[in-house]
Structure 1
Amino acid sequence: MTDRPDISAFLLAHAGFRTEFGRLAAVLAAPRDAAHAALIERQVELVLACLHHHHTDEDTTLWPRLRERFPRSVPLLDALEEQHEAVDADVAVLADRARPAAERAGAAARLHAALGRHLDDEERDAVPLLLQAYTAREWIEHGREVVAGYDRRLLPALFGWLCSAGTPQLAAAALAEFPVPVRLLFRFSWWPAYRRRHHALYGTTVRAHAGRAS
């Protein structure tokens, strides 16, 4: 095993954030019917739970380690944390089902733009430091802790959504980090279920194999 951590799953989460808020902005304003509206709400809940979990992990675990190891990075990491806080208002609007649909769609569109810029900054400034701050084994252990922090009921849709957003190569690399039973469960159950969910949500079809182009 190389001592360089494989952060494919971390980057797969970024791919999910880069795509899903734009998709949600498009459908929030005009659901087809009550069933579609309910499915959109479940997707909003899933995406916001993942965003909160991801940002909390960065603010409480990853960035403190980088601050300790690389003191010169503190201003860059402070700026990334400020960007986390800057999106909170739109996250609150999107999460509020009592708000008019147009307001929530607008919040999703703003999140799509803001998070795209934020992730560009993070991948430029923080990711190279992560690759130096963690060994391969430490990163695997950290990844297990991250997954354990999720509500298990969300995992099938979460894995499916993120793999649908990433490239086949990135999805395959991220899935390779998990035990064989999880990969088999994903291949034969979670991924087919998510493909149906995605089509019901957005009216488009995702690839038949998460880790392959076709």
Structure 2
Amino acid sequence: MSAPETHPRTEPDLSAFLLAHAGFRVEFGRLAEVIDNARDARHAELIEDQIEFVLSYLHHHHTDEDTWVWPLLRARAPHSEQTLAALERQHQQIDPDLALAGDRAQPPAQREAALRRLHTALAHHLDEEERDAVPLIRSQLTAEEWHAHGLQVVRAYDRQRVPLLFGWACAAGPPELVRQALTDFPTPIRLLFRLRWWPAYRRRHTRLYASPPRRDPDRA
């Protein structure tokens, strides 16, 4: 694993942010494949837990964008108003399917359809966000304020779910992005991730989807 950088960066490191995007791009499609094909009651409950986790984190991610990232960009780059308003509308447009996908009282076929629509809608949304908003973030926010806010976001998240969040994001992203994201965390966290959190997530992923992610998250 690469050593932490010691020189100041001139723009924010968005590797963890983009790892979350990588997770959102694939997870709803995977869940659509298994939601009505559980092997047994234990597998069914694990699928429901994964749905709850991903929906919760997507809500957390979008709320942070709507309440901190977009307002800051609007203040610093007023010309971005229409772009950011369009991204906010996309957040709102997927809300009904988020509610449907997370509602255990609904028929599995309807929830599966909602997950498939989310898979498609999020791919479109994330393409636009990475094309239009990511360059704004890099040009308008400093590395220091982005890093400090990122630590606040992690601290605000459910601590019991942080190991799951690390494993899930690193399972989806390319190894080079994982390597960069991990450099921002203290050595004890990186060791915990490699020795405990990542092996635990590989086991979870295998139980969920009948195949493991790569053995080493930061290697092809």
- TM-score strictly above 0.5: yes
Which residue in the other structure is 1:167 paired with? 174
Name 1:131's counterpart in structure 2. Answer: 138
Distance 1:164 1:173 in 2: 14
1:80 alignment partner, one of 81, 87, 92: 87
Q: Which amino acid aligns with 2:23?
A: G
In 1, the alpha carbon distance for the partners of 2:215 and 2:37 equals: 28
Q: Distance in 2 between matches of 1:29 and 1:110?
A: 16
Q: Distance in 2 between matches of 1:2 and 1:58?
A: 22
For residues 79-136 of structure 1, give each alpha carbon's deviation from its aligned partner in whole angstroms, at most 9, with x where no partner exists: 0000000000000001101111111111100000000000000001100000011111
Give yes or no for contact 1:3–1:137 (8 Å, CA) kept in 2.
no
Indicate which of 27, 35, 48 corresponds to 1:28.
35
What percent of counterpart residues are identical? 59
TM superposition outliers: structure 1 runs of 4+ over 2 Å: none
Q: CA RMSD in A?
A: 0.7
Deviation at 1:153, TM superposition (A): 0.6
Q: Matches of residues 48-87 of structure 1 in structure 2 within 5 Å?
A: 48-87=55-94
User: Structure 1: how far apart are the matches of 2:36 and 2:140?
Assistant: 43
Letter in 2 for 1:192: P
Tell me the amino acid that sits aligned with residue 26 of structure 2.
Answer: T
Query: Alignment length, in residue pairs?
Result: 213
Q: Give the aligned partner of residue 126 of structure 2.
A: 119
* Residue matched to 2:217: 210
Unaligned runs of 5+ in 1: none
Q: Secondary structure at the match of 2:9?
A: coil
TM-score normalised over the length of structure 2: 0.95
State the SS of the aligned residue for 1:87: helix
2:47 and 2:163 map into 1 onto residues whose CA distance is 16
CA distance in 2: counterparts of 1:25 and 1:172, whole angstroms? 29
Equivalent AA in structure 2 for residue 52 of structure 1: H
Query: What displacement does 1:140 show?
Result: 0.8
